[in-house]
Structure 1
Amino acid sequence: MNYSAAYDVALEKFRKATLEEISEYSGYPIDGNRIKIIFLGQRFDVEYPSGQFYAEATLNEEISVPTQILILHYLVNRSPAIQTGQLISYKELPGGSIYIQPFTNRAINPLVKTFGSQRSDLIKVAGTLGGEEVSLGDAAVVLNVFPKVPITLVVWEADDEFPASGNILFDNSAGTILPTEDYAVLASQVVFTLRKLASK
């Protein structure tokens, strides 16, 4: 997929915002002309107004373009939304029912494949990213991927009647913060990161 057009649009919106707006709505701190970001265990700065990403010296991997787009989208959100605590599935997001199959293939199936029979590993690796165990399914964790965007991952282990299954849930406020398509990318990145940590 060519992300260049989406990146250009996101960058333009970022440059039109003010640092004060970005700080107020995103919940991220500002240091000079840089926004201090923590995303899935990675720490880096986003320079304003250039939109340049600067990773800390210990980060061995480049920050992917899809990740940069996600973060820029979040930084320019103007939602005053407060978390409701009410969980919804991807198909309950605006237009989510149309994309539920790709979402399932990209995020839920890999979650179940890795942690459906290793629920303790889900709790363990999510904990390294600040995730907290919650009482859902056979195992579940909630990760605050962005300050205003918690994601809940749930797995049910297989039994005599049913195979292992899982789900990824969002706060009811999610649809006012990011486009629905972004949550598919975000959830797949969360699961990819957890799987990578579990393989170490």
Structure 2
Amino acid sequence: MIKQLNALNEARLKFKSLIVEPELITLRTGATFDSNKKIFSLTYFGQDYLIDFAGNVYKQGNRKEVSYNDHTLILQYLCSASGLPPRGKWLSFLELPYGALHNAPFYTDALKPLAEAFDTRMDDFYRATKYLGGTPVNMGDAGAIIPALPKLPLAVAIWSGDDEFPPRANILFDSVAPTHLTTAALWVLGVELAHKLITYIKPERQGLNWLGKTLDFS
């Protein structure tokens, strides 16, 4: 928990140091800025969020502050996004910098639950990905590209299981992703994608502490 709180506090402090030039933030990230209200707007997994100068993050139309993971990821992206557009080349988590060191927990916390939740439920998969702003793509038995953040799309694919093989899932990152977020943050982003897709069809999971841990990617 200390590491988690530090990650959020560090992101908030860095964000506060950058807001003196809001136009540069919008250029790098694809966010918008209301100079009268001093508020940034950012689309994250198909939903619009507001960020004030104190680093507080709210879902548009709802003043309730968002979850720890979403809050931290949004601030980290606003602070570190490079401004580069997507390249359309996909990388597995294993191919990210230092990804090999933590590919096993990514499978356990993101890919395996995703595969088990959707398996043969392809219609539910497409409904869930559409809710997150996704569009269908020819990957696996069902696939979609989801704009996790304005300049950072993810791709997700599901393969149904059969008598010989269990169901499989994969989450892919545009090759520009490491210029926007660290591998540690991309790990959380992928886990959050799995969580949000599963929660769409199993709302009872919403209250769970899905992540429950932090990883050291140093």
The yes-or-no answer on 1:184 pairing with 2:187 is: yes
- Counterpart in 2 of 1:38? 43
Decide which of 43, 52, 55 is 1:51's aligned counterpart.
55
Distance 2:92 2:190 in 1: 12
Q: Is the 1:123–1:133 contact (alpha carbons within 8 Å) kept by the matching residues of 2?
A: yes
Q: Is the 1:83–1:173 contact (alpha carbons within 8 Å) kept by the matching residues of 2?
A: yes
Decide which of 136, 161, 166 is 1:163's aligned counterpart.
166
Q: Is the 1:70–1:182 contact (alpha carbons within 8 Å) kept by the matching residues of 2?
A: yes
- Counterpart in 1 of 2:118? 115
Per-residue deviation, 1:38: 2.5
Q: Is the 2:30–2:42 contact (alpha carbons within 8 Å) kept by the matching residues of 1?
A: no
Amino acid at match of 2:50: D
Q: Classify the secondary structure of the residue corresponding to 1:189.
A: helix
CA RMSD of aligned residues (A): 1.7
- Counterpart in 2 of 1:95? 98
Distance 2:176 2:113 in 1: 25
Structure 1 unaligned segments of length 5 or more: list them: none
Amino acid at match of 2:43: I
- Of residues 8-17 and 76-85 in structure 1, the stretch that sits farther from structure 2 once superposed is 76-85
Instruction: For 1:8-27, list aligned pairs within 5 A.
Output: 8-17=9-18, 18-27=21-30
Amino acid at match of 1:119: M
Report the TM-score, using the length of structure 1 for normalisation: 0.92
Per-residue deviation, 1:83: 1.3
Aligned length in residues: 198
Distance 2:57 2:133 in 1: 23
Distance 2:61 2:139 in 1: 38
- Counterpart in 1 of 2:130? 127
Distance 2:148 2:124 in 1: 19
Q: Is the 2:57–2:65 contact (alpha carbons within 8 Å) kept by the matching residues of 1?
A: no
The yes-or-no answer on 1:105 pairing with 2:96 is: no
The one-character-per-residue Cα deviations of 1:81-127 (angstroms, maximum 9, x if unpaired) are 22111111001000000010111111101110111221221112111
Structure 2 unaligned segments of length 5 or more: list them: 204-218
Report the TM-score, using the length of structure 2 for normalisation: 0.85
Per-residue deviation, 1:13: 1.3
Structure 1 segments of 4+ aligned residues over 3 angstroms from their partners: 54-59
